[in-house]
Amino acid sequence: MTDPVHLHDGAVAIDGRPILRGIDLTVRTGDFLALMGANGSGKSTLVRALTGLLPLTTGTLELFGTPITDFDQWSRLGYVPQRAGAGSGVPASVWEIVAAGRLGRRRLFRPLSKADRAAIADALDVVGLAHRSRDSIARLSGGQQQRVLIARALAGEPEMLLLDEPTAGVDLVNQQALAATLAELGSRGSTIVLVAHELGPLAPLVSRAVLMRDGRIVRDGTPLADHGLPPAHHHHHEHADHPHDHGHAVRLSSPIEGGVG
C-alpha cells in the first residue's frame, strides 16, 4: 500500500525566511503519530506543508503516492487547523460549519445526499454538540468551537486526519470522547497525525512520537515509556537508543527562534 505521506528532504520558508529544513518524514497507513516540540518549533508549519497549504522550497512531498502538485483526492485528507479563523461577518450555525466538512465529497450544484447528512449528524454526536447544531457558532465557548472544527474534519470521513492541537482548551470529558473516536478510527485503519503539547487521554493511542526543534526533526520513534511523552523541560532522561536526545530537554523550555543554523 502507498504511504499517506512521504516527505523527502523538505524545506519550507515563510517570507523568504527558512523555517523548516531537511525534513524527512514518512507516515505509514495506520500510524498514530504525535508531533511534539516547543512553541515555534515548526509543528504547525510542518502540518500546513503536509496539506499543501505551504509550498516546499526544496524537497519532494507525495500524498498517497501522488506528488502534491498532482494530488486531487482531497476527500482522503481531514484537517483541523490550530485555531479558528477570525469570526465571519455573518452568523453561521454549528451544523453549517460541520457540513463544510463534506465539501471534498460533493459535486457542484448538488444538494446534500443522505450519506452526507448522516455523516454530519454522526460527527456532531461524537463531539457532543448535536443539541447545539442550530446555534450560531459565535455563541459557543472556545473549547466548544474547537470541538466543532474537529467534527468538521470527522464529517469528511478522511483516511488521514491531521489535527493541530485539537485538544487545546477542550475539557477532560471531551478529550476522552475524542480519544475514543480516534481509537475507533485507528482500529479501522485510519492514519492520524496529531500536534499536541499535552497528550492527556490520547497518550495510550500514540504509536510514534516525532519531536521537533527549531524547524528540524530531532527525534522520531516510539513514544517514551513515562506518560508516553518525550522529555519535558523538568525531566532529565538518558536514552541509550537516542543519544542525540540527551540534553535537549532543558533548551526545549524556551522557544528557539532563529540564531541556530
Ligand X SMILES: Nc1ncnc2c1ncn2[C@@H]1O[C@H](COP(=O)(O)OP(=O)(O)OP(=O)(O)O)[C@@H](O)[C@H]1O
C-alpha cell, 195: 500536534
CA distance 210 to 218: 8
Q: Is 37 in the site for ligand X (CB under 6 A)?
A: yes
Per CB under 8 A, the list member of 89, 243, 259, 261 interacting with other proteins is 89
Residue nearest to Mg ion (CB): 44
Coil, helix or strand at residue 250: helix
Could you say whether residue 109 binds other proteins (CB under 8 A)?
yes
Rank residues 100 and 183 by Cβ distance to other proteins and give the closer one. 100
Kindly indicate which of the ranges 10-18, 50-58, 74-82, 207-215 contains the residues binding Mg ion, using the contact rule CB under 5 A.
74-82
Minimum distance, C-beta of residue 4 to other proteins, in the bound complex (Å): 14
Q: Burial letters for 54-87: b for 16+ Cβ neighbours within 10 Å, e otherwise?
A: bebbebebbbbeeebeebeebbbbbbbbbeeeee
Instruction: Indicate whether 45 belongs to the interface with ligand X (CB under 6 A).
Output: yes
Q: How many residues bind ligand X (CB under 6 A)?
A: 13
What's the order of all strands across the beta sheet hosting 216-221? Answer: 77-80, 160-164, 191-195, 32-37, 208-213, 216-221
For 191, the 3-state DSSP assignment is strand
**Residue type at position 214:** D
Q: Write 249-258 long-range contacts (CB < 8 A, 24+).
A: 251/213, 252/37, 252/38, 252/213, 253/38, 254/38, 255/38, 255/39, 255/40, 255/41, 256/38, 256/40, 256/41, 256/213, 256/214, 257/40, 257/214
Cβ-based nearer residue to ligand X, 152 or 213: 213
Residue 79 is a binding residue for other proteins (CB under 8 A):
yes
CB of 16 to other proteins, least distance (A): 15
Per-position x/- string for 175-214, each x denoting binding to other proteins as judged by CB under 8 A, each - no binding: ----------------------------------------
Residues 6+ apart with CB under 8 A from 187: none
By CB under 8 A, the residues from 220 to 259 that bind other proteins are: none
Q: Which does 3 bind (CB under 5 to 8 A by kind): other proteins, ligand X, Mg ion, none?
A: none
Binding residues for other proteins, per CB under 8 A? Answer: 48, 51-53, 72, 74-75, 77, 79, 81, 84-85, 88-93, 95-97, 99-101, 103-104, 106, 108-109, 134-136, 152, 156, 173
Binding residues for ligand X, per CB under 6 A? Answer: 14-15, 19, 37, 39-45, 82, 257
